[in-house]
Structures are given as structure tokens and as C-alpha cells.
Structure 1
């Protein structure tokens, strides 16, 4: 892999995670719209934008072959349920003043992915990495003990995205065709919901402001673009580099929540984040050595 190719991969990867990190600002601008309506528009408008991007990138449409492959198609139905669940909970959390919960969810997501690898792919962890898993688990347990309730939004985001990533890793389909099929599966339900909302005069779309309408339509772009950038990055840089980059998004969301939207960060909640950060730092030692060691050896 040449330096120019890897450099472009880093640019694509960083761009994808920057967009995901700043997404809460977009959802705050449409927080007067219900999470259900936002999700429906995100799905509906993602379809034409994904098709447009595929045309621009000269990607071959594989709809017929995917539908004929029953095992693959069923797998994409499952992944559709997982990603729409993830999108809905993220939207609900942000529009209900819980950006910190989304940040927590995506900080602990890698640990869920690690455990899936251990359980289903027979991947092994060193004692140091197991210690990291324990620390992250203690961070979540601290939340439960001090708040008297399970941080369901964070855990749902973490588990749904980890399972989604696991499913997509096992399915033999590229990211754009996969995203297109997933959104097409959800499309009729989302479109029916929008039509019903308009028919019963409950829709914000077309009834509030032109800016809101544009922002809801733009939901398709903000769904498709970072996924396309991420897919491009994954082909150009190693997986451990991607693992290193994935903490950009929740870090940005954490800063946005505490500094821009003034979400309350209590001592107990901060302690949970600290435990999780320490655990993640421990786990990242090996990937970071691999990434920077490789770059140093080439210079």
C-alpha cells in the first residue's frame, strides 16, 4: 500500500468520523420534529442520494443478485432492523437532550464489538485487553449504581451498532449496495408513515418552514456521505487504523454536549467516562503501536 493511497484513506476516514461527531448539531436543529418523522425522512431521502452517489462513483447495482440470494437478503433484513434501531435511538437521544448518552454509547461500542469477536469468531484477548474490558464494564456498572437505572440509550446504541457491524462483516456485499438494499427494505414503511403523518395533519414536513423541509431532506445526505467515506477509508488503511479513528466521533459529541449545549455532567457520570477512557486507552495501546510503528518505519 503506497503512501499516497494511505494518506487519502486517512483523509476519508477522518472526514467520516468528523461528520458523525458533529451530527448532534444537525439533529438539534430539527429537534422540533419527532424522532419518528426524522427517521422516516432519513430513510426515504437516503435512497435517491445513495443511487446518485453510486452513479457518480460508477458503482454497479447488484439488487437482483442480492434479492435472489435468500441468505444474503435475510441477513440484510436483520441488519436493516439493527441500523434503523440505532438511527432512531440516536435521534431520540439527541432531540431529548441526551447527547452525552450517545457519546457514552459509541465509546463503549468497541468493547461490544470485541466481545462479539471473542464469542462468535474465537478471537483471543491478552490479559491487558481483558483488563480494559473490565474497566469499561465498571464504567457502565457505575452508571447503573449511581443513577439507579440502566443507561438504555447508550447500551442500545452500542449493542445495535456492534451487532450491525458484525452482521455486515459476515455479509458478502459492498457498503453502497448494502446501504441501498437496507434503505429500500425500510423505504415502504418510512414512506407510508410520512404519508400518514401528512394525511392526518401531524407532519411537520411541508407545514413548518422551508428550512425544516430542506434539513429533513438533507437527512439522506448526512446518512449516505459518511458511510461512503468510511467505506473508502476501510479499503485504503488497515483495520487497526480505523479502530483508532472511531473515537473521534464520540469525543466531539462529548465536547458539544458539555460545552455547547451545557448538558449536565455529574461527578458520578464523569467517573464512568474516566473508567471507560482508561479502559479504551489500554486497549488502544497495541493498535496505536502498529499504526505509528508502521508509519515510522516507512519514513
Structure 2
């Protein structure tokens, strides 16, 4: 019964994280007057203050020493921190450069990569329906890649970096919030240096310069709150990957790119032609198959448990 509760919590944590990530292009689009590197630096600094500050308040200075005492934690969290910083930077630049649909393609590819990593690296097993859904989704991604019009380097880079990040967080044996705190501390000094350079060279978000002047204090408030929006879904994601199979995380992750696609097409006015509709249709069919199989197996297991009791 306890395991069932933990699995359900992991499921909802994953869903919540992916919904937030799905609608986030609209938030970052509000800050398009601020250079992308400055937005990334603000995300790092304010999320560090939020997460590390809470950890120091609750656990004292000992939390950092205890976290880094885990085998391989120091270098693995340094690597995961670098991967997520790269992912953020490329993503925000792409959103504000008008490539929201391509970013959504990247996060459609990423769940397939997670499923493959779950099977190859973590030795998770898929049944016939799940393999079928993976094959259909792979066909959809290949169709999108072949008909995109140019090599989708943004999409592939986003998929690879976030897939590697998720795998590392799955493998490193530290609590989710503590792991994010260590990642943030690794990144905060370079981020502060970048912020200081930007503010003294006319590219900051707090001192009004050029296009940012029209925002004034609103831009600053959005940048600060961006730290909260950075920390919450990452905490939820890191918690979820420890509670539910990584292959399930891979399929649930389709929530985020679907919402990103809708934001790009319906709100930001990006193109969505017939070829893209066909490719995305394959992916949505795969998601429906995988989710339906999971629900059926869950009900079967619950019925069997009820009979046993």
C-alpha cells in the first residue's frame, strides 16, 4: 500500500512538472527584451537563493557535506548542473528567437530517449504494447525530422541534454531538493559574474537599458519569479524519477512539448503545416497507447490485490 502511494505521488509530481514546463514559453516570451544569457543567470541566482536558502534554514550547513558524501555525488551533480544550464540557455534563446515549435520537437524526442535509456542503461522492461507505442512515436519523430526543412539541431540538442540530465538524477543517490541545491551552488558564482557584467555593460534586467526600459520594475519582478518557476518543476521532476519507472517518465514527458506546441502555434503564431500535423499525430497516438496500457495494467493489478485481500 505504501509503494502504491509513493508511485501515485511520483506520477502527479511528474505531471505537474511537465505542465509547468509546457506553458513556460509564454512566460519567457514576456522577457524577450532581456538577453537570453541574462535570463539564464537570473534563473540560476534566484532559484539558488530559494532552494539553498531553504536547505540551510532547515538542515543547517551540514546538508551540503552530507549530500556530497554520497558516492559520486560531487562530480555527478556538477555534470548534471552543467547539462541543465546548457538546456535552459538553448531553450530560452530558441523561444525568444521564434523557434518554439522546434523546441517542442526536442522535447518530443526526449521522452523516446528516456525510454531507450530506461531499457538499455537501467534494464527496465517494456511489454508488447509499450514497444509498439515506442515504435509509432519513433516513426513520428523521424517523419518530423525528415520533413522539417532543415537539420533540427536545436531539437536534438535539447533532447540529448535533458535526457542525460534526467538519467544522472536517476542514478545519483541524493534527495531531489538537496541535489538541486548542490547543482545550483555549482552554477551560482558564474551566474553572478555574468549578471554583474550585464548590468555594467547595458544588458541587464534590473538597470533599465534600451528595450528593457519599458518594463522597469516589472521585468525585474518577472526575472526574480523566474527563479521560482525554475526550481519547482525541477524538484518535482527529480522526485518523480526516483518514484516511478524512467520509461514511464519518458511517456509522461509528452505533456510538456504538446503544450509548448500549442503555445507556439495558437498564441505566438508559429507555422504548423500538414507534414508537422502528421508527425505529431503519430506521437499522440503512441502516447494514447502507452497511457491506455498503463491504466489497464493498473486496474488489473488493483483488482488482483482486492481479490487477495
Task: State the TM bucket, normalised to the shorter chain.
Answer: 0.7 to 0.9
Is residue 218 of structure 1 aligned with residue 225 of structure 2?
A: yes
CA distances 1:113-143 after superposition (whole Å, capped 9, x unpaired): 1111233233444454444333333323323
The answer on whether the counterparts of 1:128 and 1:283 sit within 8 Å (CA) in structure 2 is yes
- The answer to which of 134-143 and 229-238 deviates more is 229-238
Which ranges in structure 2 are unaligned for 5 or more consecutive residues?
none
Question: Partners of 1:264 and 1:233 in 2: how far apart?
Answer: 33
Question: Partners of 2:252 and 2:60 in 1: how far apart?
Answer: 26
Aligned-residue offset at 1:93 = 1.8
Query: Is the alpha carbon distance of 1:42 and 1:54 closer, same or farther for their aligned partners in structure 2, counting shifts above 3 Å?
Result: same
Is residue 269 of structure 1 aligned with residue 276 of structure 2?
A: yes
Aligned-residue offset at 1:7 = 6.8
Question: Partners of 2:145 and 2:177 in 1: how far apart?
Answer: 38
Query: Is the alpha carbon distance of 1:199 and 1:274 closer, same or farther for their aligned partners in structure 2, counting shifts above 3 Å?
Result: same
Question: Partners of 1:55 and 1:83 in 2: how far apart?
Answer: 23
In structure 2, the residue matched to 1:85 is 86
In structure 1, the residue matched to 2:172 is 171
- Which of these residues, 234, 245, 253, is aligned with residue 246 of structure 1? 253
- The answer to which of 2-11 and 30-39 deviates more is 2-11
Aligned-residue offset at 1:259 = 1.6
Aligned-residue offset at 1:234 = 6.3
Structure 1 residue matching 2:39: 3-state secondary structure = helix
The answer on whether the counterparts of 1:61 and 1:177 sit within 8 Å (CA) in structure 2 is no
CA distances 1:183-240 after superposition (whole Å, capped 9, x unpaired): 1111111111111112222323321310001111112111112233445666777777
Question: Partners of 2:305 and 2:31 in 1: how far apart?
Answer: 47
Aligned-residue offset at 1:241 = 6.8
Query: Is the alpha carbon distance of 1:77 and 1:6 closer, same or farther for their aligned partners in structure 2, counting shifts above 3 Å?
Result: closer
Question: Partners of 1:96 and 1:210 in 2: how far apart?
Answer: 24
Query: Is the alpha carbon distance of 1:60 and 1:193 closer, same or farther for their aligned partners in structure 2, counting shifts above 3 Å?
Result: closer
Q: How many residues align?
A: 299
Question: Partners of 2:133 and 2:237 in 1: how far apart?
Answer: 26
The answer on whether the counterparts of 1:244 and 1:288 sit within 8 Å (CA) in structure 2 is no
Aligned-residue offset at 1:297 = 6.9
Question: Partners of 1:236 and 1:125 in 2: how far apart?
Answer: 17
Query: Is the alpha carbon distance of 1:109 and 1:4 closer, same or farther for their aligned partners in structure 2, counting shifts above 3 Å?
Result: closer
The answer on whether the counterparts of 1:106 and 1:157 sit within 8 Å (CA) in structure 2 is yes
Which ranges in structure 1 are unaligned for 5 or more consecutive residues?
none
CA RMSD of aligned residues (A): 3.1
Aligned-residue offset at 1:169 = 1.0
In structure 2, the residue matched to 1:105 is 106
In structure 2, the residue matched to 1:32 is 33
In structure 1, the residue matched to 2:95 is 94
